[in-house]
């Protein structure tokens, strides 16, 4: 008797990848190497997991839904280089994986895509590259330039850390059930590893964008980061107007701004 079909968990926003042609796009964009140790978040039914296992040394596959354990283990039968970890990727100590992951390759659950990518910039310092499937809106935000509608704190923090090396739109028909939004693959390569200055930089960037309709000095004061006069003086020192908004600053300018405000 065949096993009953898996019913996607709506509360977890599950959309399983079913178009295997996308796997080859992921493989190319992720520049997979036989020696790689890969972290996959959101293993689902193991379609991407098994593909990765056939091309790299080890896959750490994280899945929050225990209800998928049986079909996932069945899909991965014989793939001895996969280590399954069940839990919430936002609370599981991913930095403690042994051996540590060098690449993050995943069809990320939409609900955690943004916080996971942002936290991995500093929290997963061994990760040298990312190839992630995310909601198209999130993908646009990751690569947005100053002055555009999508540009925000996530854009600045990602671009201060990594360089985009690939972008590929993905149709809704590649998933079951089909999501109500479009998706895209984004590939990034790390260009900077952060030190103790990062928490303050992150606080300044997030505070600067916390009230988009406000000027940057007002936003930072409302966020409790620094006073408005201090922020205005720092902007002037940067060569910007004292009433500039966060979205006009280039990512690199936030480093200098954080130094001036420290």
The tens digit of pLDDT for each residue in 56-67 reads: 999 999 999 999
DSSP readout, 20-64?
THHHHHHHHHHT--TT-EEEEE--TTSHHHHHHHTTSSEEEEEES
- pLDDT of 15 reads 72
Whichever domain contains 141, its CATH number is 3.40.50.150
Residue 11 is predicted with a pLDDT of: 54
Domain co-membership, 33 together with 108:
yes
Shared-domain flag, residues 160 and 44? yes
> Last residue of a domain, which of 156, 190, 224?
190
4 CB contacts (<8 Å, ≥6 apart)? none
Whole-number pLDDT of residue 16: 76
What is the enclosing helix (H) or strand (E) of 168? Answer: strand 162-170
Q: What is the pLDDT of residue 13?
A: 56
Note the pTM of the prediction, 2 decimals: 0.91
Q: Report CA Rg, the chain.
A: 20
124 and 212 together in one domain = no
Q: Which domain holds residue 174?
A: 16-190
Q: Give yes or no: residues 144 and 236 share one domain.
A: no
Regarding whether 184 and 212 lie in a shared domain, the answer is no
- CA 207 to the chain's CA centroid: 20
pLDDT of residue 27: 96
Statement to judge: residues 161 and 42 lie in one domain? yes
Widest distance between CA atoms in the chain: 72
pLDDT of amino acid 6: 63
Are residues 42 and 109 in contact, defined by beta-carbon separation less than 8 angstroms?
A: yes
Q: Name the stretches of the chain with pLDDT < 70.
A: 1-14
H or E segment to which residue 198 belongs: helix 198-208
Q: Which of 161, 190, 219 is the last residue of a domain?
A: 190
Confidence at residue 1, expressed as pLDDT on a 0 to 100 scale: 32
Among 128, 161, 190, which residue terminates a domain?
Answer: 190
- Give the DSSP H/E element, type plus range, for residue 135: strand 129-135
CATH of the domain at 218: 1.10.8.100
Position 110 scores a pLDDT of 87
């Amino acid at each position: 008797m065949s096993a009953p079909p898996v019913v996607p968990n709506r509360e977890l926003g599950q959309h399983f990848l079913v178009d295997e042609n996308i796997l080859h796009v992921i493989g190319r964009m992720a520049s997979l190497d036989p020696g790689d140790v890969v972290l996959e978040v959101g293993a689902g039914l193991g379609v991407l997991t098994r593909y990765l296992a056939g091309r790299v040394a080890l896959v750490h596959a994280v899945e929050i839904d225990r209800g998928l354990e049986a079909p996932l283990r069945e899909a991965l039968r014989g793939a001895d280089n996969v280590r399954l970890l069940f839990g919430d990727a936002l609370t599981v100590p991913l930095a403690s994986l042994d051996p540590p992951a060098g690449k993050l390759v995943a069809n990320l659950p939409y609900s955690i895509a943004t916080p996971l990518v942002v936290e991995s910039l500093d929290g997963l310092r061994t990760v040298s590259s990312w190839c992630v499937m995310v909601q198209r809106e999130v993908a646009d935000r990751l690569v947005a330039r100053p002055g555009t509608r999508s540009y925000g704190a996530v854009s600045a923090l990602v671009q201060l850390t990594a360089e985009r090396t690939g972008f590929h739109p993905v149709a809704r028909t590649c998933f079951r059930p089909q999501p109500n939004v479009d998706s895209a693959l984004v590939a990034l390569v790390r260009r900077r590893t952060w030190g103790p200055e990062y928490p303050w930089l992150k606080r300044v960037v997030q505070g600067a964008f916390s009230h988009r309709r406000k000027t940057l000095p007002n936003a930072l004061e409302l966020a409790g980061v620094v006073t408005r006069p201090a922020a205005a003086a720092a902007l002037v020192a940067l060569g910007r107007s004292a009433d500039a908004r966060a979205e006009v600053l280039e990512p690199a300018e936030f480093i200098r701004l954080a130094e001036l405000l420290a």
